[in-house]
Structure 1
Amino acid sequence: MSTSALTKFREQARAWLEASGAPRRPDTEDSAIAWGAGSEDVSVFHNLSFDDERRMLDGLRQWQRTKFDAGYGALTWPEEYGGRGLAPEFDDAFAAEERRFEVGGSHELLSVTLHLIAPTIRLLGTEEQRRRFIVPLLSGRELACQLFSEPSAGSDLAALGTRAVRDGDDWIITGQKVWTSGAQFAQWGELIARTDPAAPKHQGMTAFMVPMDAPGVEIRPLRQMSGGTSFNEVFLDGVRIPDSQRLGAVGEGWKVALTTLGFERGASSSSSGVGGSMQQTLALASFTGAVTDPVLRRSLADVIVAHKLGEIAHARDERARESGEPLGAIGSVRKMQWVARMLAISEFVAAALGPRLVVDSGQWGTYAWGQHVLGAPGYRIAGGSDEIQRNIIAERMLGLSAEPRGDRSVPWRDIRR
């Protein structure tokens, strides 16, 4: 890739964004934002009513469709899926230009659809499934959630008990999922179910694409402490789906789950638009006068250093992808680094704002930070808990002995629960 090609692409992307009608953000340096201008939203998980969240998501879907139809919505994907087959740095370049405009923020369901489930189908789906799902998902015309976690199988995903029983050319699915982000707005769910209870727990699972409006599917929103209902319980009562919606081979659901989770950890390592940014933190520090406090300045420096290290790590990972190296266990490292940055911002913000963090005085850009502080700890669990990430790093990167797992070769039905 030549520098001139990337420069020309950025110029074309900038011109297209200017012509798109999206409002331009106030011009500032990359390391600063204008205090009191634009949105004060720094939420990790949305605190919106059902109707407001739907309107927000509809706007984001429309923007994704607009980008996709113009050739900017799937830059690194092959042309057969509506992409342009470009290198990852073109994606980064477009994202940098896009950040100069107000395009509606972000939503986890759209991110899951674009960066987790569509790539999983591309790798493991049949040709018919690729034709059916990938373009609708990449264009935002359809959305898909993850139906993975269960009340008794959170971080230990392989312990799940939702059953799928073969009935001729169909499967009948019964069980319960929990912590499903965006289920109330999704058209599809990537579901992992147990199809062979006599097999060890990692071997007796199968993956499916389940329509969220199928008879027998019930979605119940869960209220989180930050106020919103991003998460849901999903109950499946005799849901019948055809075998053509099975994703991967029978009994290989664990492989499908690991593929999706690998994309999730990779996405977490480079996430933007979730919670408060370093630029917003710097603006808050200037507004509150924290930049003149020697103790708070040290805490702020930690945030800045962590942000810069994150940028360096992202660049290294992109170069590795260009050379065909899989992200592998480094995704767990990146995910933990990203969460640590979010928590460091929380610590600084709480100290800088004091009572203004918990009392709504009406002052712009202060009380809103509570949404970040309350939401950030959730990502210590989302996408695999910190404990799971440490196990992955220890075993797959450092070569340490695996934790004792006495149930690995035991049939799932014989495991004490």
Structure 2
Amino acid sequence: MKKQPKRFDMYRQPNKPKWYLKLVEYLIVPPYMFFSNAHVKTDPEVKKIKGPYLILSTHASFIDFPMVVAGMWPRTTGWVMSVEEFRRGDWLMYGVGGMPKRKFTHDIVTAKHILRYLKKLKHPVTLYPEARFELAGVNERLDGALGKLCKKAKVPVVMCKAYGNFINSPQWSKHPYRNIRQEGHMYVLLTTEELERLSAEEIQAKIEKAFEKDEYKWQVENNLHTKCKKRADGLYRILYKCPVCGTEFEMKSEGIHLWCEHCGAKWEMDTLSRLKGVNTEGGFSHIPDWYNWEREEVRKEVRAGKYHFEDDVRVEDYYSTRVGFVDVGTAHVVHDEKGFTFKGTVNGKPFELNKPVSSMYSVHIEYNFLKRGDAFDIATDETSYFMFLKTAKNYLTKMHFATEELYDFYVRDKA
């Protein structure tokens, strides 16, 4: 019997950033920010903090990392990062102060790492609580326990809120860059006195309010035009349902146009990212409005008991930094009111896994992950499976909506 590779050690204690990697950050970040047309403003109150603090940052593209580095200069930070990012090398990820996290799980290991980093190492920690890139330039759902973590940490909470980074490189079409100004603002969101006075629920509400954003609205208000000739490429990834005929998964986009292959309705994206009908008066001009309408449509399905999805998936298992991703088998997935249910063959053995609705308030999706296809991440206490859809076309965004709406209907609304 073939011996299974050693799993990633989630319990390994992270340490402060290595001095030589700090030097690399200081050398690379300024020119990277300059050539990316990225800027960050840090309030004086942040610079006055002498001890550790917790940084909460919006998350839309890679520039979010150098933006934090530049904003807190000359201090450094530890980073909470997805476990699969450690494929780049333990020496690098742990060397910059990384601590691994399996997405959308209820594990307490990472929380313990964060608290140790703040209290024992007395060093700042940066957390991207949306746990994935924004899909439509608006804020995504946060973990409901974030307020409890901040209250337990008892250190100042600093917010880093960025605009333009999504417009410049949206998750559904990261390249080519749109060459638009990117700007961040770092400020004290919660002082230690406020953390002591407020309840965990009040802290959570204040954090969620701080994360509210709309990059497309910001772009129009600041009159920031993009001349990119491929600005609509990939837009069909998030705008998968036609508002004219109601057909799903037959939207396409290329260049500056988006259209429905079922009814022929067509829209043009202007240089301010607004949509205008070419041959129809239907639809939405504001991309987040279209995106939110699709969510409402999924919500109706869920609450009517009509939501159901199934497909075959290819299963990849992320073992460790040394082993990386391994193609371990295939399975059939059903997504409904019971959550995600998988049945198949993995490592030559029968494979069954159920992730109930209550265990996932959202799901991590990746369009054409590592250029190997559309995938979603299902994490257990032991590993992270990446499930690649075999036949379903452009389903990930609807799955993202459905996971959250199922959680709301069957868990949150009944709490």
More strand per residue? 2
TM-score (norm 2): 0.25
More helix per residue? 1
TM-score (norm 1): 0.25
